[in-house]
Amino acid sequence: MGFSRRIDPVARIREQIDVQEKVERLGMSIPLEFKNEDMENLAIFARCYVFSGQRLNEFVDEIVKTAYEETFNLLKRRMAVEDEA
C-alpha cells in the first residue's frame, strides 16, 4: 500500500498539540490595558501569559510527550506499510 500522500510528521504533531489550550490552562493570565491620552478613542485590552517554573515544565513535558508518542506511532505505521509491501 505505501504512502501515496506523505504527511509531514512535524505538521501532524502540531495538529495534535493545542498550544492555546495549554497556555490558557498552565499559564497565568495577566490583563494589559493601554490607553492613549492623545487619542481618546484608542484603548487596547490584551492578556499576557506568564508561567511559574513548575507550570512551564508541565507545558514542555506535555509537548515532548505528544511528540514522542506521535514519532513512535509514525515508526509503527511505516513498519506496518513496509511489512505489507
- Give the pLDDT confidence of 15-32 residue by residue, as tens digits: 889 999 999 999 999 998
Q: What is the CA radius of gyration of the chain?
A: 21
List phi, psi (to 5°) of 50: -125, 155
* Burial of residue 59 (number of CB atoms within 10 Å: 0-12, 13-18, 19+): middle
pLDDT over 90 (residue 60): yes
pLDDT, tens digit, for every residue of 25-58?
Answer: 999 999 988 777 777 777 778 889 999 999 999 9
Angle between helices 19-26 and 53-84 (to 10 degrees): 150
Report the chain's mean pLDDT, rounded to a whole number. 85
pLDDT over 90 (residue 79): no
Residue 1: the pLDDT is: 43
